[in-house]
Amino acid sequence: MTTAAAQEAFLKAFHSERPAVTGDAFGGGRAPDGRTSYEILGDRVTGRRRVLDLGCGDGLLLEVLARAERRRLAGVDLSPASLALARRRPALAHAALVEARAQDLPFTDGAFDACVSHLALMLMADVDRVAAEIARVLSPGGVLACVVGAGAVGGEAYELFGTLLRESVRQAPAARRIPPLGDRRTRDRDGLAEVLAPAGFAMVDWRTVPIDLSGPAERVWASVSGIYDVGPLGGAAVARLRRAFLTEAAALAGPDGRVPCGFRIHVATARLR
C-alpha cells in the first residue's frame, strides 16, 4: 500500500467511527469577534455563487454557506459516513455531495468560482496535485479559502491535552499510531504559497485567529479528543487519557467551572490568476 493510500485508508476508517468529529470539536468554538471558524471561512467567499467544499465532512461548513441564497454548492469527502450526515441537512438538499479524492475531482473545468476547505487541505497527500485540481475546477479569478490548524494557544487545556496525548502515544505499540498525514508545507504561509504558486494562485491574505473552546471539563474533553492520534489508541488507553485529562484540567477551571481552552487557526486566502 502506498503512503497516500495508507493515509486515506486511515482517514476513512477514523471517520466511519466518528463521522461528525470535526464539527463536534470545533463547531462551538468562537473567535474574539464571536464567529465560528466555519463562519470566518464562509465570509472569505462572500458573493461567490458556485462554491466547492473540499473535505466537506458532515456538511457543517456547507450549511453555513447555504445561508446565502441562490448558491450552487458542492462538497467532496473520502468518508461515506460523513457524507451520509451531510445529506441529512435540509439546507443541503440541492448540494452535490460526492465521495471523491481531492487529487481527482469529478467536476468540469471552471465549474466553481470559490473553493473552501476547513482543517482538511492540511491532511491531504500529494497536495501539489490537489492544488492543480482546485485550479482546474475554478474559473479565472476564483478564490481558494482554507482554515489550517495552528496548535494550542498555550498554558491552557489544549496544551495540557497535547502533553498527555504525547505520553499515551509514546507508550502505544506502533500499530496504535497514526500514519503521517498531509504535507507540512500547508501549515505556514511560505509553504502553502510554494504549493499553490505553480498551480497559478497568488496568496492574498493570511492571518492567525484564536478560537475559544473553553467550557466545562467534559465539553472541553469532547473538543480536544477529536484529534486523529486518539483514534487508534484503543479503549483502555483512551479511558486512561480521559481520566488524566479531567483530573488535571480541574485545576485550570475558574470559579464558574469553565476550563480555559484555546486553539489557533490560520485562515488563508489565495486567488487564481
Task: Report the candidate in 81, 196, 206 with the shortest Cα–Cα distance to residue 150.
Answer: 206
Q: Would you state the cell numbers that stand for residue 230, as one nine-digit string?
A: 486518539
Exposure string over 236-249, b if 16+ CB within 10 A, otherwise e? ebeeebeebbeebb
For cell 507508550, the residue is 171
Q: What's the distance, CA 42 to chain centroid?
A: 14
SS3 of 48-116: the string is: CCEEEEECCCCCHHHHHHCCCCCCEEEEEECCHHHHHHHCCCHHHCCCEEEECCCCCCCCCCCCEEEEE
Cα separation, 190 vs 270, in Å, equals 12
Residue 27, C-alpha cell as written in the block: 463547531
Question: Which segments of 197-258 does DSSP mark as H helices, in order?
Answer: 217-224, 235-249
Q: Pairing mode, if any, of strands 262-272 and 201-212?
A: antiparallel
Mean pLDDT per 10-residue run, the chain (273 residues)?
Answer: 85 93 92 97 97 97 96 97 97 97 97 97 95 98 96 85 93 85 94 97 95 95 91 91 96 94 96 95
Could you give the CA distance from residue 180 to residue 255 in angstroms, rounded to a whole number? Answer: 40
Query: DSSP letter string over 172-183?
Result: S-GGGSPPP-S-
The answer to whether the predicted template modeling score (pTM) of the entire model surpasses 0.85 is: yes
- CA separation for the pair 229, 221 (Å, rounded): 14
pLDDT given at position 1: 64
C-alpha cell recorded at residue 156: 491552557
In sequence order, what are the residues at sequence separation of 6 or more whose Cβ sits closer than 8 angstroms to the Cβ of residue 39? 64
What is the dihedral angle through the alpha carbons of 83, 89, 90, 93, rounded to the nearest 10 degrees? Answer: -10
Coil, strand, or helix at residue 2? Answer: coil
Residue 20 is predicted with a pLDDT of 94
Contact 189, 268 (CB under 8 A): yes
What is the reported pLDDT for 112? 98
- Nearest of 51, 122, 31, 119 to residue 82 by alpha carbon: 119
Side chain identity at 175, as an amino acid letter? A
